Amino acid sequence: MGKKGVVEENPQMSENSPWHTMTIEETIKQMGLKDDLPKTGLSTDEAASRLEKFGPNQMTEKDKTTLLQRIWHQINNVLVYVLITVAVVSLIQAVTTTDGDTRFTAWFQVALIVSVITLNTWIGIYQEGNAEKAADALKNMLSTDARVIRGGKEVMIPAGDIVPGDVCLLGLGDKVPADLRLTSVSNLATGEAALTGEAVPIDKTTDAIPVEGGLDPEQVPLGDRKNMGYSATLVSVGSGIGIAISTGDFTQIGTINRLVNQTETIKTDVLKQIDLVSKYLFICICTMCLATFFTAFFYSETYKGKVLDSINIALVCAVAMVPEGLEAIVTLTYSYAVKVMASQNAIVRALPAVETLGSVTVICSDKTGTLTQNIMSLTAFVTSNARYKNDVDAADRVPMNFVRDDSYLAERAQHDLKKSGSEILAAGPNNPQGRRGKDPSFHFTTDSLHTTDQPNEAGKVASPDDNFPVKQGESPTQEWIQSALSCGVLCSKCVLGEGGGRAGEIGNPTELSILRASYFCGIDIEELKNDCPIVAEVPFSSDYKFMATVHEPAASDNAPAGKLVAYVKGAPDRMVKQCKFQAKGGVAGEENVEPVNEDYWIEQIAILSSHGLRVLGLCRAFIDKDSVKVGDNLGPEFVNGRPEGKWLTMVGLCAIMDPPRPECVQAIKEAHGAGVRVAMITGDHKDTATAIGHMLGIVDEKFSEAVTGPELDAMSDEELCEVVLTHNVFARASPQNKIRIVKALQAKGEVTSMTGDGVNDAPALKAANMGVAMGKEGTDVAREASEMILADDNFATIVYAVKQGRVVWDNLRKVLLVNTPINNSQGLSVLLGLLVSLPNTPITAIQILYSNFICAVTLGFVTAIEPAEDGIMVIPPRTVGKRLIGRFLFLRIVIGTCLLTGCVVGSAVIINSHSRYDYLDVKGREQMMRACAFNVLDFGAMSVMLSARFAYNSSVHPRAFMGNPAAVGSIVIVTVLQLVLTYVPGLNSFVFGMRGLDWFGWILVLLSMVIVFSVMEIEKAIRRGLKAKGADTDDRTTPFFTDGPSEAPGPASMTMPKGASKLNLQELSH
pLDDT for 1044-1056, tens place per residue? 444 433 333 444 3
DSSP-derived secondary structure letter, 645: -
Q: Could you tell me the CA-to-CA distances from 1022 to 206, 308, 947, 1019 in Å, in that order?
A: 77, 47, 14, 5
Relative to beta strand 362-365, strand 677-681 is: parallel
Q: Which of 165-174, 819-828, 896-905 has the highest mean pLDDT?
A: 896-905
CA 654 – CA 409 distance, rounded (Å)? 12
Span 443-456, average pLDDT: 56
The total number of residues written for the chain in this structure: 1070
pLDDT score of 4: 41
Q: Are 288 and 96 in contact (CB under 8 A)?
A: no
Span 7-32, average pLDDT: 74
Q: Are 443 and 542 in contact (CB under 8 A)?
A: yes
What percentage of residues in the chain have a pLDDT greater than 70?
84
- Please state the φ and ψ torsions of residue 239, each to the nearest 5 degrees: -150, 170
pLDDT score of 1068: 35
Whether 459 shows a pLDDT value over 60: the answer reads: no
Whether 1059 shows a pLDDT value over 50: the answer reads: no
**Gyration radius (Cα) of the chain, Å:** 37
DSSP-derived secondary structure letter, 877: P
pLDDT score of 456: 57
pLDDT score of 554: 82
Q: Are 106 and 90 in contact (CB under 8 A)?
A: yes
CA 831 – CA 897 distance, rounded (Å)? 13
Q: What is the mean pLDDT of the chain?
A: 82
CA 729 – CA 693 distance, rounded (Å)? 7
CA 643 – CA 627 distance, rounded (Å)? 13
Q: What is the DSSP string of 54-111?
A: H--S-PPBPPPPPHHHHHHHHH-SHHHHHHHHHHHHHHHHHHH---HHHHHHHHHHHH
pLDDT score of 907: 95
Please state the separation of Cα 362 from the chain's center in Å. Answer: 12
Beta strands in 543-662, from DSSP E residues, in sequence order: 546-551, 563-570, 579-583, 593-595, 614-624, 632-633, 648-657
Kindly report, residue by residue over 145-193, the tens digit of the pLDDT: 889 999 999 999 998 899 999 999 998 888 899 999 999 998 888 877 6
DSSP-derived secondary structure letter, 554: P
pLDDT score of 15: 47
Relative to beta strand 145-150, strand 179-191 is: unpaired
Kindly report, residue by residue over 66-88, the tens digit of the pLDDT: 778 777 877 777 667 777 877 88
Torsion on CA atoms 693, 695, 697, 703, rounded to nearest 10:
40
pLDDT score of 99: 72
Q: Could you tell me the CA-to-CA distances from 182 to 29, 46, 194, 237, 389 in Å, in that order?
A: 15, 21, 20, 15, 49
Q: Which of 103-117, 657-671, 870-884 has the highest mean pLDDT?
A: 657-671
Number of Cβ atoms within 10 Å of the Cβ of 438: 20
Task: Find the helix or strand (DSSP H, E) in which 754 lies.
Answer: strand 752-756
CA 612 – CA 706 distance, rounded (Å)? 12
CA 1013 – CA 440 distance, rounded (Å)? 67
User: What is the band of 267 on the pLDDT scale with cuts at 50, 70, 90?
Assistant: low
pLDDT score of 387: 95
Q: Are 952 and 1031 in contact (CB under 8 A)?
A: no
Q: Could you tell me the CA-to-CA distances from 881 to 90, 361, 655, 872, 1041 in Å, in that order?
A: 40, 14, 49, 19, 9
Span 1027-1043, average pLDDT: 70
pLDDT score of 534: 93
Residue 732 region by backbone torsions, left for phi larger than 0, else alpha for psi between -120 and 50, else beta: left
Q: Which of 632, 630, 493, 504 is nearest to 569 (CA)?
A: 493
Whether 568 shows a pLDDT value over 50: the answer reads: yes
pLDDT score of 199: 54
pLDDT score of 455: 58
Whether 980 shows a pLDDT value over 50: the answer reads: yes
Q: What is the DSSP string of 292-319?
A: HHHHHHHT-TTTTT-HHHHHHHHHHHHH
Kindly report, residue by residue over 580-610, the tens digit of the pLDDT: 999 999 998 888 899 999 999 999 999 998 8
User: What is the band of 1062 on the pLDDT scale with cuts at 50, 70, 90?
Assistant: very low
User: What is the band of 1001 on the pLDDT scale with cuts at 50, 70, 90?
Assistant: very high
Whether 938 shows a pLDDT value over 90: the answer reads: yes
pLDDT score of 109: 75
DSSP-derived secondary structure letter, 495: B
Kindly report, residue by residue over 497-552, the tens digit of the pLDDT: 888 887 788 888 888 999 999 999 999 999 999 999 999 999 988 788 899 999 99
pLDDT score of 251: 87
User: What is the band of 683 on the pLDDT scale with cuts at 50, 70, 90?
Assistant: confident
CA 436 – CA 474 distance, rounded (Å)? 41
Whether 395 shows a pLDDT value over 50: the answer reads: yes
CA 50 – CA 41 distance, rounded (Å)? 13
**Interior angle at CA 322, CA 319 and CA 324, nearest 5:** 100
Top pLDDT among 103 and 268 is at 103
DSSP-derived secondary structure letter, 372: B
User: What is the band of 417 on the pLDDT scale with cuts at 50, 70, 90?
Assistant: low
Span 944-957, average pLDDT: 92
pTM for the structure as a whole: 0.73
Span 652-677, average pLDDT: 92
Please state the separation of Cα 298 from the chain's center in Å. Answer: 61
Where is average pLDDT lowest: 389-398, 414-423, 897-906? 414-423
Q: Which of 481, 383, 529, 437 is nearest to 733 (CA)?
A: 437
Q: Which of 280-284, 984-988, 992-996, 1002-1006 has the highest mean pLDDT?
A: 1002-1006
